[in-house]
Structure 1
């Protein structure tokens, strides 16, 4: 099953996505074509959102780092940085090195504290897609993604929906890709993660209790392509869907 968060008749509602991906079923039973939906980020307000940097061996080598870090690079993201499917992301006038980063996102479904990697996926309710744009001009250093880069308003498109974990048999066997104006600029596989989804849940739960609705952005594969205002960016993950975003001048 897929669930989407939309704005409908002045309300923030969750809707079920039809099997064909063309319709949404609202809580009242009414159906709505997905093309008519005003998509919201499928993020629970107040949830903790963790993000991973340098968690793909191929991307690390691309940037000149060792394929695997000794310890994972984890940072937090706030609510205001998210924007829904088909939304607009501001591109600052001086951000000539702004590039998309397609990421698998895991959503926690039950409290997890001190869990093992072997049981970690039992605590994952579902998955979605994020495009965690990076702006190289604003980056202080790769090991400290600052708020100016990773917490700007509307710079992390997410969605379009959440896919139940039961419909994703192996989160480490998914193809990822990013296209800008139809051109393939990024591709990879979740098999290349340094730390798997299960490893990340176990690692984070060793320090804090992960709660239902919490999210983990798991990093991005190789492929750096600088974007311009007016570009359409589509991130796709096998078995999850396609997330579309538009860059606008800021």
Structure 2
């Protein structure tokens, strides 16, 4: 837990993990009563035991325009393998044969209580919190291997999450957040969640018509413009690159890029 002075506090004596049923009723805690965490430990994903890692495609009007695609009539849904999940500052490793791996800063939504057939008006009541997701994507795997997006989204290390799970009262309006991504110090993506075609509430309501959403499920809600495949000439990740991602109030990620041997 992060206290109001930005110091790490030890939650292990309060909850077994930030996962499952704990997310349905996160306890209110006096951070100053918790032990301080010494040093600078690695931060893992801020939610444990993720059951489903769901992605929403082409969900920003300006991103759809840069890809030359029509805005969808309904949310485009794909799955990312949970084995792709890493911490916010871990290393992203490009798979063998990859020449077209891309970056995507996204608002992540963590479900706090079971949602099934929920209305748009009630949808946000089922959110435990928000986080940053980098929906790293191998474009050739995604679009040239029989059109299965999941193939390009699920490579190991392609799902950095974190650093923080920020509760809704702290995060504020999820449709009023600024997102950025820098590659090697150069700004690539600048976006605003107000440009989403489908809001967080609409996405949750839509998904809950087809599948129950469980505590700990993570939804990546789409990316703003500035991805590599939308550039002219196109640009993709290479060994030695460094990605830095921010979303208002949700912290910052930083991932170096290597290549699988």
| TM-score of the alignment, normalized to the shorter chain, above 0.5 | yes
Match of residue 24 from structure 1: 9
> Does the aligned pair in 1 maintain the 2:106–2:133 contact within 8 Å?
yes
Instruction: Find 1:237's aligned residue among 234, 247, 257.
Output: 247
Cα offsets for 1:88-107 (capped at 9, x unmatched): 11123643322210000111
Give me the TM-score of the superposition, normalised by structure 1.
Answer: 0.87
Instruction: Provide the secondary structure at the position in 1 that maps to 2:246.
Output: strand
Structure 1: gaps (5+ residues): 1-15
Match of residue 120 from structure 1: 123
Quick one: structure 1 residues 144 and 70, their matched pair in 2 at CA, closer, same or farther if it must change by over 3 Å? farther
- Work out whether 1:40 is the aligned partner of 2:44: yes
Shift of 1:209: 1.7
Quick one: structure 1 residues 197 and 179, their matched pair in 2 at CA, closer, same or farther if it must change by over 3 Å? same
RMSD, matched Cα: 1.9
Distance 1:23 1:146 in 2: 37
Match of residue 51 from structure 1: 55
Shift of 1:223: 0.3
Distance 1:192 1:137 in 2: 27
Higher strand fraction: Structure 1 or Structure 2? 1
Alignment: residue pair count: 233
Shift of 1:46: 4.8
Distance 1:148 1:26 in 2: 36
Structure 2: gaps (5+ residues): 14-33, 229-235
Match of residue 67 from structure 2: 63
> Does the aligned pair in 2 maintain the 1:44–1:213 contact within 8 Å?
yes
Instruction: Find 1:86's aligned residue among 89, 111, 122.
Output: 89
Match of residue 149 from structure 1: 152
Instruction: Provide the secondary structure at the position in 1 that maps to 2:116.
Output: coil
Shift of 1:78: 2.1
> Does the aligned pair in 2 maintain the 1:85–1:159 contact within 8 Å?
yes
Instruction: Provide the secondary structure at the position in 2 that maps to 1:90.
Output: strand
Cα offsets for 1:138-194 (capped at 9, x unmatched): 223699443431111111111111001111220001000001121111110001111
- Work out whether 1:227 is the aligned partner of 2:231: no
Give me the TM-score of the superposition, normalised by structure 2.
Answer: 0.83
Which stretch has the larger CA shift, 212-221 or 19-28?
19-28
Quick one: structure 1 residues 129 and 147, their matched pair in 2 at CA, closer, same or farther if it must change by over 3 Å? same
Instruction: Provide the secondary structure at the position in 1 that maps to 2:113.
Output: coil
